[in-house]
Structure 1
Amino acid sequence: MDGQARAPAAGTVLNALATGTGSAFAIDEYVTATVSLAEGSVEGTVAGQADADTRLIERCVERVTDRFGSGEGGTVRTDSEVPMASGLKSSSAAANATVMATLDALDAADEISREEAARIGVAAARDVGVTVTGAFDDASASMLGGVTVTDNTADELLARETRSWDVLVWTPPERAYSADADVERCRAVASMAELVADLALDGNYEQAMTVNGLAFCAALGFDPEPMVEAMETTAGVSLSGTGPSFVAVGQRERLESLESVWARRDGRTLLTRTQTEGTLIDD
């Protein structure tokens, strides 16, 4: 009873902390989960992170086996290309990969829609307290691929589209945990978030993410200079999640020019692309 799946990371169009409406897009960088089911409790590990908090992935296994199995335990291990606490939705990707790997181990992946599978991971994240909003926007983008807009207060998918963007990511060395974000300051920019939601629901994702980035840099205390550096050469740029990463989308040659600018900063730059397939079960 073994299973394996990989889920893509994601970047932000609209941070859901202000109003509960959020939007995100999947990118071609992955978290892989390997699950082996057996009797007993669930034990999780994160590759290269001996002291990592494994409650989320363990709870994902428990929720899936309680619903589709017989309450099996076992082991779950995640391997990640995505830096933790970087604003690139590593927790949502880990949850999605774990849910789908567990369904694969139970031979039950065809018994549930991908949307509902994402909701299992969201519920597990709420169970263990690693999310403020429930992060259905991040989870849906990672599970379904493409760009999604969601109502996180109801775990409802409002829109999904595919976009063929090249994507540039800059991740500084610092880490920012979404559960530690100042929710009240984020709610202070609710009027801007409502404008961003309108733009996103109209399909103007690039403009939406730029407005979002400026508003949430102000709310969360991030320097908007990386955005200013990007605005002349990209279609859209934003702070991703609650930071500290920034994501920009547009034409590859323009992003290559921006990469040389962002690369002067400490941290990591990554030139990648959008991902439209969502979470994948590995054969």
Structure 2
Amino acid sequence: MYGEAAALGAGTVLNALATGVGSAFAIDAETTARIELDDTGDVTGDIAGAPDGDTRLIRRCVERVVERFGDGQGGHVRTESEVPMAAGLKSSSAAANATVLATLSALDVTVAEPRSSEDDGEEPDGIGREEACRIGVRAARDAGVTVTGAFDDASASMLGGVTVTDNEADDLLAREAVEWDVLVWTPAERAFSADADVERCARVAPMARLVADLALDGRYGAAMTVNGLAFSAALGFPTDPAVEAMPHAAGVSLSGTGPSVVAVGERAELERVRERWSQREGDTWMTTTRTDGARVIE
């Protein structure tokens, strides 16, 4: 009973901490989960490169899938990631999605593609990707690694493209395929989502509501930039990287609760931003968006 799957990291359009509405977009950086189920009933886990890493989330993902589709199985899950942890790039959502899909695969549960307008109205066998995503979101709440449940981050990671969500109801409000080049600056410091100052974030709710309107209108670049300025101020991060990027990027934002900053636009223009950001301490790297979302490997 073996399963393997990969899910994507993501960048932020709108941080959901202020109002419960959030938006994110998938990037080409993957987290892979490999699981082998057995009859022990106990779930263990480990994270490649982080021997002391917190495995509560991935273990809980396995447990939730087994509770719904299995027969009391246990096993061992291991994740390996290109997405830096605690950097605002949705590493937890990617790990949860990959683990859920790998466990479903190990149990021979079919993961259906999103329904289209041409479907005949019959429910697909197995489980849809959107509902599979919700399993990981609920596991994240169980494990205490998220404040909002992060359905925005998780949906972008699972489905690909850019999504807008109501995180309080776990509702997908909008999804659109986008093709952007993406520049990421990740300083050495780390910031865990569960430690974010929710009260300070709530004070920028008027700006968050404006960002939500922009995102639902498809104006993602402007939405990102307003979000980035508002939440950098609320969470105590510098706005200098965003200001440096604004003349050249279609949008730039603090990603998640930081510390990473993401900019989107045309590669030639983003290379000019990269020259500036590379002078800062930390890692600066270029990637792209992804529209295909998470995938079962085996």
Report the TM-score range of the alignment, normalised by the length of the smaller protein.
Answer: over 0.9
How far is the alpha carbon of 1:257 from its aligned partner?
1.2
1:218 partner amino acid? A
Deviation by residue 1:219-271 (Cα, 9 ceiling, x = unmatched):
00000000000000000000000000000000000111111110111111110
What is the identity, as a one-letter code, of the residue corresponding to 1:12? T
List, as ranges, runs of 4+ consecutive aligned residues in structure 1 with deviation greater than 6 Å.
Answer: none
Tell me, in whole angstroms, the C-alpha distance in 1 between the residues paired with 2:160 and 2:133. 12
Residues paired across the two proteins, number: 283
Secondary structure in structure 1 of the residue aligned to 2:6: strand
Equivalent in the alignment of 2:38: 38
- From 190, 197, 203, give the equivalent of 1:182: 197
The Cα of 1:16 is off from its aligned counterpart by: 0.1
How big is each residue's C-alpha offset from its partner over 1:134-161, in whole Å with a ceiling of 9 and x where there is no partner?
Answer: 0000000000000000000000000000
TM-score (norm 2): 0.94
| CA offset digits 1:158-201 (Å, max 9, x no partner) | 00001100000000000000100000000000000000000000
Q: Which residue of 1 aligns with 2:14?
A: 14
How big is the alpha-carbon RMSD for the aligned residues of Structure 1 and Structure 2?
Answer: 0.6
User: Equivalent residue of 2:245, what SS?
Assistant: helix
Please name the residue that 1:239 is paired with: 254
Give the aligned partner of residue 178 of structure 2.
163
**Structure 2 residue 28 is the aligned partner of structure 1 residue 28:** yes
The TM-score normalised by the length of structure 1 is: 0.99
Aligned to 1:58: 59
Equivalent residue number for residue 146 of structure 2? 131
Gaps (5+ residues) in structure 2?
112-125
Matched, 1:256 2:257: no
SS in 2 for 1:253: helix
* Comparing 253-262 and 17-26, the one that deviates more: 253-262
1:105 matched to 2:106? The reply is: yes
User: Matches of 2:287 and 2:83 in 1, distance apart?
Assistant: 12
In 2: Cα distance, 1:234 partner to 1:140 partner: 24
User: What residue identity is the alignment partner of 2:258?
Assistant: G
Residue in 2 aligned with 1:89?
90
- Code of the aligned partner of 1:194: R
Q: Match of 1:194?
A: 209
Distance in 1, matches of 2:285 and 2:170, equals 30
Residues 61-72 of structure 1: pairs in structure 2 closer than 5 A: 61-72=62-73
**CA offsets, 1:93-127, max 9 Å, x none?**
00000000000111103310111001000000000
**Whole-Å Cα distance in 2 between the matches of residues 5 and 269 of structure 1?**
27
Letter in 2 for 1:237: V
Letter of the 1:48 partner, please give it: G
Q: Give me the whole-angstrom Cα distance separating, in 1, the residues matched to 2:45 and 2:142.
A: 16
Distance 1:9 1:276 in 2: 12
Q: Which amino acid aligns with 1:2?
A: Y
Q: Which residue identity is paired with 1:159?
A: A
- Matched to 1:173, the amino acid is A
Query: What is the alpha-carbon distance in structure 1 between the residues aligned to residue 58 and residue 285 of structure 2?
Result: 26
Do residues 278 (structure 1) and 293 (structure 2) align?
yes
Q: Which SS does the other structure have where 2:145 is aligned?
A: coil
1:54 alignment partner AA = T
Q: Which position in structure 2 is the counterpart of 1:144?
A: 159
- Unmatched 5+ stretches in structure 1: none
CA separation in 1, counterparts of 2:216 and 2:71?
41
The question of whether the paired residues in 2 share the 8 Å contact of 1:100 and 1:109 is answered with no
Give a deviation string over 1:65-112, Cα, whole Å, max 9, x none: 110111210000000111100000000000000000000111103310
Among all aligned residue pairs of Structure 1 and Structure 2, give the percentage whose two residues are the same amino acid: 70
